[in-house]
């Protein structure tokens, strides 16, 4: 399993590469994101869409469709890890604690472009290297 940060969800609706990776690997590698990441993306996408002269409704529809490929992790599933995640993120970006708590609860890595997760005790994968994770997850070499 791989936990997706909100910035990956936003990249999935704004570009091609992340969406292609999700489409390619979602059937063989379990992808998940906490409800907080989806909320963050849902709030961020319309602002970015307007700045880039893109249709916010179309991008939000793409974000909603991602819910078919990405497991939504509800708060109650990662809530027990909130104190530990907050402690690890307090000197970085405290608002990102749900992503870390979710990764701790699910015993898995995070897919992110956010360096705030580096060194907090879980593996992180960036888009440039995430196919290595997918290859290991699917047994490909």
Q: Using alpha carbons, list the distances in angstroms from residue 81 to 2, 4, 34, 112.
A: 17, 17, 13, 19
Residues 6+ apart with CB under 8 A from 49: 14, 55, 56, 59
Domain positions in the chain: 2-138
Of 78, 76, 75, 93, nearest to 7 (Cα)?
93
CATH architecture of 2-138: 3-Layer(aba) Sandwich (3.40)
Q: What is the pLDDT of residue 141?
A: 47
Q: Which of the residues in the chain have pLDDT under 50? A: 141
pLDDT, tens digit, for every residue of 46-74? 999 999 999 999 999 999 999 999 999 99
Of 71, 74, 84, 62, nearest to 13 (Cα)?
62
pTM: 0.92
């Amino acid at each position: 399993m791989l936990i997706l940060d909100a910035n990956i969800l936003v990249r999935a609706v704004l570009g091609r590469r992340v969406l292609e990776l999700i489409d390619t690997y979602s059937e063989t590698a379990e992808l998940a994101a906490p409800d907080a990441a989806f909320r963050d993306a849902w709030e961020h996408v319309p602002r970015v869409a307007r700045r880039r002269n893109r249709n916010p409704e179309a991008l939000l529809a793409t974000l909603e469709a991602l819910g078919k490929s990405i497991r939504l992790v509800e708060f109650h599933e990662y809530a027990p890890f909130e104190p530990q995640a907050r402690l690890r993120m307090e000197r970085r970006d405290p608002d990102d604690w749900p992503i870390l708590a979710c990764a701790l609860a699910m015993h898995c890595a995070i897919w992110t472009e956010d360096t705030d997760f580096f060194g907090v005790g879980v593996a992180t994968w960036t888009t440039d290297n995430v196919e290595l994770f997918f290859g290991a997850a699917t047994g490909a070499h």
